[in-house]
Amino acid sequence: MQQVLKLMTLLKSVSKRHLILLAGLSFITAILLGWSQGNATASEPSSTQVAVGGTWQGASFPVENFQGYTSPFGYRQSPDGSSNQEFHRGLDMAAPEGSYIRSWWAGKVVEVTDNTACGTSIVIQSGEWEHIYCHMNGHVETNGNGQYLSDRNGGLQIWEGQMIPAGARIGRVGMTGRTTGPHLHWGLKYSRQWVDPAMVLRAMYAEQSGSRSVSSRP
């Protein structure tokens, strides 16, 4: 628990003026993770593994059938092919279209949308953390009970306000929004500040002393 508080204190100190520093660190972290465009590495954990270290116990790798990291957190050339530079506030994970996406941490669904560049997306709140999942299959529907993400082919219906356990399937990899291929764009915020997901993954697996399966979840 003491390790959690230390890490949260560190992340809470991150301000907007540190984004450029985080961007630079992201590329170093990506190398440490074994990142290579379009290719998975032998050291990468499988989609059914979760961290079981003291700090990150219960955290889940967010996508099944993981193939590789295709775009890290930080400045990059715009994917539309222009020479413009843009700040990429997340980590892109390639996986075959239709692969299931899992909740990184237990929390509450605070937003479902399908009308932005993020495509069909979900935001889950877990204390000071927000985790964002973009470009999913399906669309948003509304009825008298509220708003929800509907993916009938995937057998999923995720409501705003719903509590979600870690490792639960919350969507499927798609190509909605602004995307050039099927992948999960995974974003993380701590105390409303963007955080490099690669740094979090590195911390998760640095403390990993084993693994347990979440694949039994429907």
| pLDDT (0 to 100) of residue 82 | 64
Contact 176, 107 (CB under 8 A): no
Question: Quick check: helix, strand or coil at residue 4?
Answer: helix
Count of alpha carbons within 13 angstroms of residue 100, beta-carbon side: 19
Between CA 73 and CA 66 the distance in angstroms is 18
Cα angle for residues 41, 47, 48 (degrees, 5° grid): 130
The CATH architecture that domain 2-206 belongs to is Distorted Sandwich (2.70)
Tell me which amino acid residue 147 is: Q
Measured in whole angstroms, the distance separating CA 217 from the mean position of its chain's CA atoms is: 19
Least Cα distance to 91 among 48, 52, 56, 44 occurs for: 44
Q: What pLDDT sits at residue 202?
A: 84
Mean pLDDT by 10 residues, the chain (218 residues): 43 38 38 33 31 61 91 68 71 94 96 93 95 95 95 96 96 90 92 90 72 36
The residue to which tokens 């509590």 are assigned: 163
Distance CA 115, CA 45 (A): 33
Q: What's the CA gap between 212 and 175, in Å, rounded? A: 30
Tokens representing residue 187 in the block: 């974003």
Cβ burial of 144 (10 Å; 0-12, 13-18, 19+) is: exposed
Please tell me the predicted confidence (pLDDT) of residue 177: 86
pLDDT at 170: 97
Consecutive H or E run containing 38: none
Q: How far apart are CA 198 and CA 61, in angstroms?
A: 11
Tokens of 73: 């957190």
Question: In this predicted structure, what is the pLDDT of residue 43?
Answer: 27
Domain boundaries along the sequence of the chain = 2-206
Give residue for tokens 């230390």.
Answer: 6
Element of type H or E holding 165: none
pTM above 0.75, yes or no: no
Q: Which two tokens stand for residue 141?
A: 């529907």
CA-only gyration radius of the chain, Å: 16
Q: For helices 19-32 and 197-206, what crossing angle results, to 10°?
A: 50
